[in-house]
Amino acid sequence: MKQIKAKLLLSDGIELEGYSFGYEQSCAAEVVFNTAMTGYPESLTDPSYRGQILVLTYPLIGNYGVPPFQRENNMLKYYESDNVQISGLIVSNYSEKVSHWNAYTSLSKWLIENKIPALTGVDTRFLTKHLRNNGVKSGKIEFENQFINLIDVMNENLVASVSTKEIITYGDGTNKIVLVDCGVKNNIIRKLLEYDTQVIRVPWDYDFNTLQYDGLMISNGPGDPKKCNATINNLSKAFENDIPIFGICLGNQLMALASGGDTYKLPYGHRSHNQPVRMLGTNRCFITSQNHGYATDVSSLNSSWEPFFTNLNDNTNEGIKHKIKPFFSTQFHPEASSGPTDTDFLFKDFIEKVKAFKQSK
């Protein structure tokens, strides 16, 4: 196979050369890194990665291929959305040989089919250290004779590009949950369906306050939460009621903004399967899966709210909760997929709050 060279260029002048194993088309996006050792099919289809060139720090990628495209409950069974969400992929060593019981095709073929450029042979250790020390950067994968300008994707409303455009209903359970889709991962829906629910998935800017429901879920998603004014305004109205609310990742930041708090951009974000968090007021610690570039400013919360979890690496916020009402959120991903399942119990806690609310009416 002919090896086609291309370059990764960062906005601060760093240039790294590699060989293409994806679609041969230049792209520009934000360059971020993930330190997870497994789970690239899930990560690449996570809508929170929209607008990003993903650097995988694990040195061997592609050896187990990608799974089949089977559907279950109107979702792809082994993926987190219907599409590859990243703009580009950077790895140290791509394995052309695929060996796995559930492999349907190779990572390379899948990326080419989805028109996603990818480079192998890049010094990802150097690149990760550079991004960690200097912060994430705008960057581009550029092929010969395919010049492209750098862009700042954080100026875009990325949530609008990944959210559903129509209302979709899953399940027929007795607990009616409205899910605000800001870029939801499929496994959040799968987890909710385990608890006798009917999940009503609505667009990010839909006024869900016009609906009758027993619980509200605010999903994960990409980009700057402050671009989601419609969601923030709708959440502010929902806070006037007592219907249970659970926010995940971007949902945590949106709940903070809707309560009058603030958010800020992290230097290089949290993207891994091994982020340790502690539940405040306890000695309970958990290993969590995370994928976000922004955080909630705890000092900006009003007196009705308090921190729920804290990151043990850098003391950033990992969730908030209302002191009286059944509202809470996590910055990490309790649904895992891929990642640890230590905090799976939070879905059960949410449904218990939903049941309590229904009984109180």
CA atoms within 13 A on the CB side of 111: 25
What DSSP string describes 105-156? B-HHHHHHHTT--EEES--HHHHHHHHHHH--EEEEEEETT-------GGGS
Rounded Cα gap, residues 360 and 353, in angstroms: 11
What DSSP string describes 287-345? EEEEEEEEEEEGGG--TTEEE-EEETTT--B--EEESSSSEEEESSBTT-SSS--TTTH
Q: Which residues are catalytic?
A: 249
Residue 242 Rama label (left phi>0; alpha psi -120 to 50; beta): alpha
Answer whether 180's CB lies under 8 Å from 214's CB.
Answer: no
Q: Is 114 exposed, middle or buried (0-12, 13-18, 19+ CB in 10 A)?
A: middle
SS3 356: helix
Rounded Cα gap, residues 109 and 271, in angstroms: 25
Residue corresponding to tokens 């305004």? 233
Angle at alpha carbon of residue 36, lines to 31 and 40, rounded to 5°: 75
Q: Is the dihedral of CA 163, 165, 170, 172 positive or negative?
A: positive
Rounded Cα gap, residues 17 and 15, in angstroms: 7
Count, in order, helices (H) and strands (E) of the chain.
8, 22
Q: Name 312's Cβ contacts closer than 8 Å, sequence gap at least 6.
A: 276, 277, 278, 285
